Amino acid sequence: MPATRKARITASVPEQEQEILAAAADEFAAVGLRKASMDEVARTAGVSRSTLYRRFPNKEALFQAVAMETFETGLSRLEDAAVGLAPRDAVVEAFALGAEMVQASPLLHRVVYEDNSVRDLLGGVGALFIEVVTARVADTLRSCGATMPDDALMQAVEIQVRIVMSYLAVPASDPERAAPEYVRGIAADFLAPMIH
């Protein structure tokens, strides 16, 4: 059971939200989406139930906020890892780091490998999300020195984003195929050559 965070009457709204999101991430990682308790999240975050529900009206809204924060943090890590690398090397490093993050993060591990209800909730990821991620990754690769035309770069990156989403939706049955070094090899052999 996660430790209870001490209630702080003077906490600002952003501080409260960060406490809530941290407590929720712990709760979702520990027991999954269906069994997660909003009461436990409020208790652990040190906020009242009314404060929690004022910020996040239901468990799904809370999970979506946690997922967006996790996504943003992960994407920022991938962008940071690409700094100073050639475009193809950045692709390889991003795929390997992504695989490492899924294995190392209890929340990501549960989402990808254990909790079908989470995958069902995320199954509605739309075209706009894919476009946003594609554009951001393409910008990162361009900053790494990619020289291919914009349209070709966007198409290649969109294919790679869709591949990632496919593996997250239906993970490989062999755990060895999810290991960072295996993913690194696949990225080097098949995905990095798409970028120039």
Tell me the CATH number at 50.
Answer: 1.10.10.60
| Rounded-to-integer distance, Cα 64 and Cα 85, Å | 32
For residue 8, tell me if it sits in a domain: no
Write down the pLDDT at residue 66: 94
What is the number of domains present in the chain? 2
Residue environment code for 135-161, b if the CB has 16+ CB neighbours within 10 A, otherwise e = eebbebbeebebebeeeebbebbbebb
Q: Give 130's contacts (C-beta < 8 A, 6+ positions apart).
A: 158, 161, 162, 165
User: Contact 41/27 with Cβ under 8 angstroms?
Assistant: yes
Residue 16, pLDDT above cutoff 80? yes
C-alpha atoms less than 13 angstroms from C-alpha of 151 in its C-beta half-sphere:
0
When pLDDT is averaged across residues 63-71 and rounded to a whole number, the result is 91
Whether residue 74 is found in the same domain as residue 98? yes
User: Contact 171/87 with Cβ under 8 angstroms?
Assistant: no
Write down the pLDDT at residue 172: 86
Kind and range of the H or E element at 97?
helix 87-104
Whether residue 26 is found in the same domain as residue 106? no
For residue 109, tell me if it sits in a domain: yes
When pLDDT is averaged across residues 3-18 and rounded to a whole number, the result is 70
When pLDDT is averaged across residues 23-45 and rounded to a whole number, the result is 95
Residue 169, pLDDT above cutoff 90? no
For residue 7, tell me if it sits in a domain: no
For residue 1, tell me if it sits in a domain: no
For residue 40, tell me if it sits in a domain: yes
Whether residue 81 is found in the same domain as residue 133? yes
- Name which of 113, 7, 105, 14 is nearest 65 in CA terms: 14
Q: Which residues span the domain enclosing 132?
A: 63-194
When pLDDT is averaged across residues 50-64 and rounded to a whole number, the result is 94
For residue 30, tell me if it sits in a domain: yes
| Rounded-to-integer distance, Cα 102 and Cα 147, Å | 30
Residue-averaged pLDDT of the chain: 90
How does DSSP classify residue 126? -
Whether residue 73 is found in the same domain as residue 50? no
| Lowest-confidence segment of 56-65, 114-123, 150-159 by average pLDDT | 114-123
pTM: 0.85
Whether residue 34 is found in the same domain as residue 95? no
Write down the pLDDT at residue 3: 53
Q: How far is CA 165 from the centre of its chain?
A: 11
Q: Give 137's contacts (C-beta < 8 A, 6+ positions apart).
A: 94, 157, 160, 161
Whether residue 72 is found in the same domain as residue 164? yes
